[in-house]
Amino acid sequence: MKTIDELLADGVDGKRVFVRADLNVPLDGGTITDDGRIRAVLPTVKALADAGAKVVVASHLGRPKGAPDPAFSLAPAAVRLGELLGRDVAFATDTVGESAQTTVAGLTGGQVAVLENLRFNPGETAKDDAERAAFAGQLAALADAYVGDGFGAVHRKHASVFDLPKRLPHYAGYLIATEVGVLKQLTEDVKRPYVVALGGAKVSDKLAVIDQLLGKADRLLIGGGMAYTFLKAKGYEVGISLLQEDQVPVVQEYMERAEKNGVELVLPVDVLVATEFPDLKTKAPATYTTVDADAIPADQEGLDIGPKTRELYASKLADAATVFWNGPMGVFEHPDYAGGTRAVAQALVDADGFTVVGGGDSAAAVRTLGFDENAFGHISTGGGASLEYLEGKTLPGLAALED
């Protein structure tokens, strides 16, 4: 895989360089609530611009239906990118149309432009190879070279991620190079003890990675909504907690495999329960109780791991040489149910080993709860991409850069 350093060494002064970034930031109306993904691509964009390239940045945002939708415009991201770069950033109001062509043609060396949301064009996400290829061809006409730096999208077989690199000289940006290097530390010659903490809502989203980790990790800590399927598999009453009943047999098999393989599988020993889900808009104080994990009332649901579990998980993370964490331990968006996620994050901060926060809600939680990002070994920008890499899957965006 060629890197941006090789492109810079060859010289980019006056060349049009297409940077496939991941500017898929959370928005509250037109306000960006977490600019982490924009900041992650800054080193690549700045290096190219400083070297005199005409930088064309493109990304998706959200899930529009293949047509323009103001709610998913990248205009706020373009403004924020300009603020962080400390220079004006032009914005094209379409992807490959008149505005994009005029905007790119008007760039001079060292200037940056952002194209409108790639998913406003149906060719970006098309299942049909020919339709995707046609859109990639239109994008290729806007550039002389391609830099892939949108790690959060590399697991998607989309036109700008998979098809476009084949049409231009292509290179990995600094972010992707860093992300791949980190993931190799989690899969090749791992320093032990290797502890993985998994949370989030659905156990079905994590089954494939658990399957792989049962042969690699020394210890698995389970939290979040997915924990209740594990507790059900142990024969516990889980009340009205989030439960995937159809996955119970699979989870039981994985628990047996863990014991057979000598992998320590750690489940919550107590949980915070309530009769209703908290109001995440007003953040009104919740009414909850703490119960043992085997004593959840039939009319209540678990919303966070309890204090004994927090201490237990912190102790299981304390001696780790390598840690991967993906998924919150509870409904961290509400202050009353953020304690479990905060405890795991703090345990990673306190650990002496190499700690990786696996993107998605985990990365959002770290920022929401006010942790210093530099206190972690690495915070990934792509939760889904990280998980699929750990599952051993071939990621289309990385495969395209390796050709």
Per residue in 294-318, pLDDT (tens digit) is 999 999 999 999 999 999 999 999 9
Question: Do 144 and 19 meet the contact criterion of CB atoms below 8 Å apart?
Answer: no
In the residue annotation, 384 being an active-site residue is answered as yes
The pLDDT assigned to 361 comes to 86
Per residue in 31-72, pLDDT (tens digit) is 998 898 999 999 999 999 999 999 999 999 999 999 999 999
The active-site residue, picked from 123, 327, 384, 397, is 384
Mean pLDDT of 190-207: 94
Strand, coil or helix: what is 109?
A: coil
The pLDDT assigned to 14 comes to 97
Neighbours of 27 (CB within 10 A): 17
The active-site residue, picked from 16, 20, 37, 232, is 37
The active-site residue, picked from 199, 302, 360, 383, is 360
The active-site residue, picked from 87, 192, 202, 367, is 202
Tell me, what amino acid is at 109?
Answer: G
Mean pLDDT of 341-364: 93
The pLDDT assigned to 189 comes to 84
Spatial separation of the C-alpha atoms in residues 256 and 392, rounded to whole Å: 22
CB hemisphere CA count around 120 (13 angstroms): 20
The DSSP H or E segment spanning 5 is: helix 4-10
Structure tokens at 48: 């190219």
Question: Do 228 and 243 meet the contact criterion of CB atoms below 8 Å apart?
Answer: yes
Question: Do 338 and 366 meet the contact criterion of CB atoms below 8 Å apart?
Answer: no
Q: Is the pLDDT of residue 403 over 80?
A: no
Neighbours of 273 (CB within 10 A): 23
In the residue annotation, 11 being an active-site residue is answered as no
Mean pLDDT of 120-136: 98
Q: Is the pLDDT of residue 398 over 90?
A: yes
The pLDDT > 70 percentage for the chain reads 100
Q: Is the pLDDT of residue 359 over 80?
A: no
